[in-house]
Amino acid sequence: GRRIEAGEIRIEHLAFSYQPGRPVLERLNLHFEPGSFVGIVGHTGSGKSTLLSLLLRFYAPQQGRITIDGQALDSVPDEAFRSAVGLVPQEPYLMAASARENITMGRPDISEAQMREAARAARIDDFLSALPQGYDTLLGEGGTRVSTGQKQLIAMARALAGAPKILFLDEATSNIDSATEQIVGEALTALRGRVTVVAIAHRLSTIRDADQIVVLNHGHLVERGSHGEL
Ligand code: ATP
Ligand code: MG
């Protein structure tokens, strides 16, 4: 396996079920261009998180294949996969630690400049800089309280600090104010051309500027297009 340089994702004839006879995804064909911004929407239970789990290699599909930069997903070495892929989970966690540690996660290869750049890209630098001790301010349990939306932005900074070629985001479902939701969308849009972004969205405003919006219904692709086309 080679390193992941471009972040092109191809999904061919994908089928997956957790239990035999109960397909969750069926005959799915998708192509995500390198550096494009893809939004995934669909009602609850339509298979959005399942698709993300397959892309993250948490499960293996029973049929079809997924390739990244032309390599079969399961043949990409763990180290190459980890360094190329970032995840912003639906319910991000904060450690009881400084803002800096929450972004770098103790990874020694991340410089102060890279950490700040990631925070700027995630649109959380202004907030963290303005805290009493700036990036040394304790967050999480016993520290400064942050909202769900701010947690998600910090998790985005954490993911971007690793300079991923592909960023997966599972948008938080609760407690995000419309200002923060717009910031998430702007941050993702600004990554266009550099990072392939695949974002599960619960709000259309987050993916308004996506290059491609995939609509899932019961594990089938039902529509695909840009926000203007759908
Ligand atoms: P939501 O918008 O509520 O997050 P979703 O589109 O992410 O929904 P999935 O979580 O992918 O939907 O679920 C798709 C289907 O697979 C649902 O019917 C769900 O009950 C089922 N499912 C999800 N996870 C599992 C699991 N670990 N084991 C068995 N079935 C599961
Ligand atoms: Mg889900």
Quick one: average pLDDT of 153-182? Answer: 91
Quick one: average pLDDT of 4-14? Answer: 97
Task: Show Cβ contacts of residue 229 under 8 Å, excluding neighbours closer than 6 positions.
Answer: none
18 Cβ inside 6 Å of ligand 1: yes
225 Cβ inside 6 Å of ligand 1: no
For 220, the token pair is: 């089938």
For 214, the token pair is: 């995939």
3-class SS string, the chain: CCCCCCCCEEEEEEEEEEECCEEEEEEEEEEECCCCEEEEEECCCCCHHHHHHHHCCCCCCCEEEEEECCEEHHHCCHHHHHHHEEEECCCCCCCCEEHHHHHHCCCCCCCHHHHHHHHHHCCCHHHHHCCCCHHHCEECCCCECCCHHHHHHHHHHHHHHCCCCEEEEECCCCCCCHHHHHHHHHHHHHCCCCCEEEEECCCHHHHCCCCEEEEEECCEEEEEECCCCC
Q: Which of 48, 59, 91, 200 to mutate to test the pocket of ligand 1 (most atoms within 8 A of CB)?
A: 48
Quick one: pLDDT band at residue 177, thresholds 50, 70, 90? confident
- Which pLDDT tens digit goes with each residue over 93-136? 899 999 999 999 999 999 999 999 999 999 999 999 999 999 99
Report the alpha-carbon distance of residue 196 to residue 9 in Å, rounded.
9
102 Cβ inside 6 Å of ligand 1: no
Quick one: average pLDDT of 28-48? Answer: 96
CATH number corresponding to 9-225? 3.40.50.300
- Spans of all domains in the chain: 9-225
Bridge partner residues of 87 (DSSP): 168
What are phi and psi for residue 228, nearest 5 degrees? Answer: -65, -30
The interface predicted TM-score (ipTM) is: 0.99
- Which pLDDT tens digit goes with each residue over 132-157? 999 999 998 889 999 889 999 999 99
CB 179 within 8 Å of CB 98: no
Residue nearest to ligand 1 atom 27, measured at CA: 18
| Integer CA distances (angstroms), 76 to 7, 34, 54, 126, 214, in order | 12, 17, 14, 37, 25
What angle, 0 to 180 degrees and rounded to 10, lies between the N-to-C axes of helices 148-161 and 112-121?
130
Question: What ligand is nearest to the CA atom of residue 216?
Answer: 1
| Integer CA distances (angstroms), 80 to 9, 41, 210, in order | 15, 28, 26
Bridge partner residues of 19 (DSSP): 22
Q: Strands 85-88, 22-32: parallel, antiparallel or unpaired by DSSP?
A: unpaired
pLDDT value of residue 205: 85
Give the count of beta carbons closer than 10 Å to the beta carbon of residue 108: 6
